[in-house]
Structure 1
Amino acid sequence: RDLKEPPPGRSCSWRFRVEAGTRVAFEDGACGAQAFLEGRDFGDFVVWRPDGVPAYHLACVVDDALMGITEVVRGQDLLRSTARQILLFRALGWREPCWYHCPLVTDEHGHRLAKRHDALSLRTLRERGTVAAALRCGWTEG
């Protein structure tokens, strides 16, 4: 955690240090009041990868800030990530967007639809004539 230089011949990742006990609270448009605590919910996190590429949280924050994004709508599976991103917005002196974490689209067993599991995409469902209202009501093919 306190290493100043990488070992010879090795690259390293850069982490954002979170002070012990830091609490991040925010209001989510869908999920209501949220609070995450360092040590329980998250800790120091990578902002720059060893391959020289910005990590997910830093990339999201920089993109959102530079594009003037004021509202972020994404799945509930990313709710916990919001605390880290809020810390980055604050550290960089940028205004945080409003957050809205919507429920995931799931199959009949409650598992999220994901490309990596060969789930039908929303585009495919739309091309087959499935209407959005049917998805919201829980309708599935077959």
Structure 2
Amino acid sequence: MSPYRGRLAPSPTGLLHLGHARTFWTAYQRAQQANGVLVMRNENLDPQRSKTEYTTAMFEDLRWLGIWWQEGPDVGGPYIPYVQSRRREFYLEAWRKLVQTGFVYPCRCSRKDLARSAQAPHDEDDEPIYPGTCRPRHAASGEIAVPESPARLNWRFRVPDGEEIAFADGHLGQKSYLAGLDFGDFLIWRRDDVPAYQLAVVVDDAAMRITEVVRGADLLRSAARQLLVYSALGLEPPAWYHCPLMLDATGQRLAKRHDALSLRALREQGRTQEDVVAMLR
């Protein structure tokens, strides 16, 4: 078996809260228990929401929590760069391959168009099921010409409708989703010329030799999507371990809007590292 390689993949779009802390603490513990390597990757793909001050805060807050990594933007490693905004060529290479092999197609639908769709996203999933407006009637066959750039169009992965995507989760057990019903054709590149999460995370986890992905249970359907991308690119997928979500007093999952439960706020209130770790159990 390959040596264990886990990862932390925070996005600097807000302050990290207790939900993030639980997931990252779990990832840290699992890497330690396996005597493995933990990789820190700065997922700063969103140019509008990613902020330098949040990047600084996430590094400081995770160190304060007692989490240490062996590879990352601040410590280097064999798979540099560990910052997504500097990995564009890797994503373009994958996009070209997916276009050439017919797994993706261009989509001109706007957010307003999608908002009119009758199919809303699942409660724990933020991507609506695409109604298929721009989907070619037949799957492409043979090699396809690749445009010079993916810009000014959305690019969607054509899911194999009716195919069951099943995987064993290390925490939640066997999971299964039906392509076309539980999720539809999903974005792999945005019209503002930014690679989408589903593509970038597959490319990076494969390139950095990640053997287990630890993250929140809200991304379970993303595992099914990503398994399709791994297969299309001829890459070996990692194992999965999805953590239960932390909820606020109203039963809603924690989000970056919950500033009062951010690690930074808890630190400023005088909470100790031991206090916060106890809150994660």
Partner of 1:41: 182
Q: 2: distance between equivalents of 1:119 and 1:77?
A: 22
1:121 aligns with 2:262: yes
Contiguous gaps of at least 5 residues in structure 1: 5-9, 137-142
1:55 aligns with 2:200: no
Q: 2: distance between equivalents of 1:98 and 1:108?
A: 32
1:2 aligns with 2:147: no
Contact 2:260 2:266 survives alignment (8 Å): no
Of the three residues 106, 109, 132, the one matched with 2:277 is: 132
Structure 1 position 28, deviation (Å): 0.3
User: SS of 1:107's equivalent?
Assistant: coil
Which structure is higher in strand share? Answer: 1
Contact 2:211 2:238 survives alignment (8 Å): yes
1:22 aligns with 2:163: yes
Q: Name the CA shift for 1:111/1:66 in 2 (closer, same or farther; >3 Å).
A: same
Contact 2:155 2:187 survives alignment (8 Å): yes
Q: Name the CA shift for 1:23/1:84 in 2 (closer, same or farther; >3 Å).
A: same
Partner of 2:220: 79
Q: Name the CA shift for 1:29/1:43 in 2 (closer, same or farther; >3 Å).
A: same
Q: 2: distance between equivalents of 1:119 and 1:95?
A: 40
Partner of 1:91: 232
Q: Name the CA shift for 1:83/1:119 in 2 (closer, same or farther; >3 Å).
A: farther
Q: 1: distance between equivalents of 2:194 and 2:279?
A: 40
Structure 1 position 79, deviation (Å): 0.9
Q: 1: distance between equivalents of 2:271 and 2:177?
A: 41
User: SS of 1:115's equivalent?
Assistant: coil
Which has the higher relative contact order, 1 or 2, with Cα contacts under 8 A spaced 6 or more apart?
2
Contact 1:65 1:94 survives alignment (8 Å): yes
Residue 99 of structure 1 aligns to which amino acid in structure 2?
Answer: W
Structure 1 position 113, deviation (Å): 2.1
Partner of 1:70: 211
Aligned sequence identity (%): 62
Q: TM-score, normalised by structure 1?
A: 0.82
Residue 160 of structure 2 aligns to which amino acid in structure 1?
Answer: E
Q: 1: distance between equivalents of 2:261 and 2:183?
A: 33
Q: TM-score, normalised by structure 2?
A: 0.43
Residue 240 of structure 2 aligns to which amino acid in structure 1?
Answer: W
Which structure is higher in helix share? Answer: 2
Contiguous gaps of at least 5 residues in structure 2: 1-134, 138-143, 145-150
C-alpha RMSD of the superposition? 2.1
Structure 1 position 123, deviation (Å): 4.8
Contact 2:159 2:180 survives alignment (8 Å): no
